[in-house]
Amino acid sequence: MNVILVGALGRMGAHVAEALTRAGHTVTASVDVGYAANGGGRYLRIGEVKEQADVIVDFSFHAVTPEVVGYAARHQIPAVIATTGHTEEEKKAITAASAKTAIFYSGNMSLGIATLCDTVKRVVSVFPDADVEIVETHHNRKLDAPSGTALMLFDAVKEARPDAKALCGRSGQGKRDKNEVGIAALRMGNVVGVHEVMICTDNERITLKHEAFDRALFADGAVKAAEYLAGKPAGLYSMKTMFQN
């Protein structure tokens, strides 16, 4: 499988390149604004790429997403969007592109997180009146809060409890609303990623937790997503759809 890798010079870009090589795939073009100039299969912008590819993997920055999915749609190349923190307009660009090509979009590329989301949905459905709280912890350089993963976990809660409302941070005075799901974001040190979901009744508490030890796990998930996406018809895909298939 030939891959266009966007965000090649970033920390995750290096992990993805290594994971692709281990899986027997080829990075046919690398894209990053950090390159000095175009040449040798390296490009500053994806719009300048000339090489053919079977799939695009984007681990760059959310603001670049419209350009990436636009290129994918024009050339009808499937794309894995592994960045987070997208604005509503950027999300609309992803959806629009998915009408013309296959787009894989997930707030977290970890297979473990995908399993956690499914488990959260199942447990919350068993305890419909329980209080649910989500706590996510990341390194002090992460820009978006709450994390895309925390929002995925909230969506899992909402599948079981459609009236759930996200409360990102809690302050002031007032009784806890029975439908609110608190989401707390911690930023410190070099933490790769820790996500906890607490489901609590008056008599018991269930805590579901996922901890990432190495960013390489996200690269492995992105490669799995790229392999899954190759040959798929136009549409919007995710970890959930990948597990269902």
Q: Is 138 a catalytic residue?
A: yes
Supply 7's token pair.
Answer: 């965000």
DSSP states along 100-127: TSEEEE-S---HHHHHHHHHHHHHHHH-
Q: Are 90 and 65 in contact (CB under 8 A)?
A: yes
Q: Which of 25, 234, 13, 195 is nearest to 110 (CA)?
A: 195
Place of tokens 């995710």: 238
**Bridge partner list, 185:** 136
Cα separation of 78 and 57, whole Å? 9
**Bridge partner list, 2:** 26
Q: Is 142 a catalytic residue?
A: yes
Q: Indicate which residue of 100, 142, 158, 232 is catalytic.
A: 142
Place of tokens 């604005």: 87
Judged by phi (left if over 0) then psi (alpha if -120 to 50, else beta), residue 234 lies in: beta
Q: Indicate which residue of 86, 121, 138, 210 is catalytic.
A: 138
Catalytic machinery residues: 138, 142
